[in-house]
Amino acid sequence: MDLAARRTLVGELAMRQLDAAYNLARWLLGNDADAGDAVHDAFVRALQSAHTYAGGNGKAWWLTIVRHCCFARLKEHGRGRRFVAIDQLAAELGEAAAQRVLPNTAADEPEQNAAAAQERARLHRQLRGLPEEYREVLVLREIEELSYREIAQMLSIPIGTVMSRLSRGREKLLQALGANGDRP
């Protein structure tokens, strides 16, 4: 395959997995502006390194680049402004949902969903509050549905470490949610 074709392939892969990329970046960086910039950086880098893409598991390859760009950005900011204020939470949840729901259904959201929304907000807050190493594997495994092996390759860590971080992260989340009461 020539380089142009490979670049097209990589570009299409990145566009297909753009939500996955943005989701990872957004959870790692904590705000829209940085997440968008990191994904943009990653897109440029992915095209530049299209020759290293051997085909096969594209999602993990692409997310590895996204993750690198996120950490590069975190370093740049000296880890100073990672999270936006909690009072933006409602708006953020709205944003996340906005991409999946068409306005004519979302705008008429009935009041009875208020409790469910509160519940989601609490889980959201707890996951956000987790140390990065746990948050990262939880997002990759539970939300992006990557396997242990894929996560291990992405993070350059042994599979055993993926397992222990995942278990610890789940434990912490369950504890935090349980401690907050009214978990069914």
Partner 1 sequence: MNCESSRRLLPLYFDGELDPADSRAFEAHLDGCAACRQALAELEALRARLRDPAMRYAAPAALRGRLAAAMPAARPRARAWAALAASWLAAALLGAGAAGLWHDRQQGLRAQAGLTRDLFASHWRALAAASPVDVVSSDRHTVKPWFAGKVAESPPVRDFAAQGFPLAGGRIDYVGSARVPVLVYRHGGHLIDVFVLAAPPAGLPRQARMQGYGLRVLALDHAAAAVVSDMDEAELDRFARLLAQGGEPPPSR
Q: By CB under 8 A, name the binding residues for partner 1.
A: 4, 7-8, 11-12, 14-16, 18-19, 21-23, 26-27, 32, 35-36, 39-40, 43-44, 47, 90-91, 93-104, 106-108, 117, 119-120, 123-124, 127, 138, 141-143, 147-148, 163, 166-167, 170, 173-174, 177, 184
Q: In angstroms, what is the minimal distance from the CB of 112 to partner 1? A: 16
Read out DSSP for 57-106?
A: -HHHHHHHHHHHHHHHHHHHTTT-S-S--GGGHHHHHHHHHHTTS-HHHH
Q: In angstroms, what is the minimal distance from the CB of 56 to partner 1? A: 19
Nearer to partner 1 (CB atom), residue 2 or residue 75: 2
Rg (CA), the chain: 18
> H or E segment at 110?
none
Q: In angstroms, what is the minimal distance from the CB of 89 to partner 1? A: 11
Q: Which residues contact 47 (CB under 8 A, 6 or more apart)?
A: 7, 10, 11
Length of the chain: 184
Nearer to partner 1 (CB atom), residue 72 or residue 88: 88
Cβ atoms of 50 and 7 closer than 8 Å: yes
Q: In angstroms, what is the minimal distance from the CB of 36 to partner 1? A: 5
Q: In angstroms, what is the minimal distance from the CB of 75 to partner 1? A: 22
Q: Which residues contact 59 (CB under 8 A, 6 or more apart)?
A: 13, 17, 20, 144, 146, 150
Nearer to partner 1 (CB atom), residue 4 or residue 179: 4
Nearer to partner 1 (CB atom), residue 14 or residue 60: 14
Nearer to partner 1 (CB atom), residue 64 or residue 121: 121
Work out the number of other CB atoms within 10 angstroms of the CB of residue 156. 8
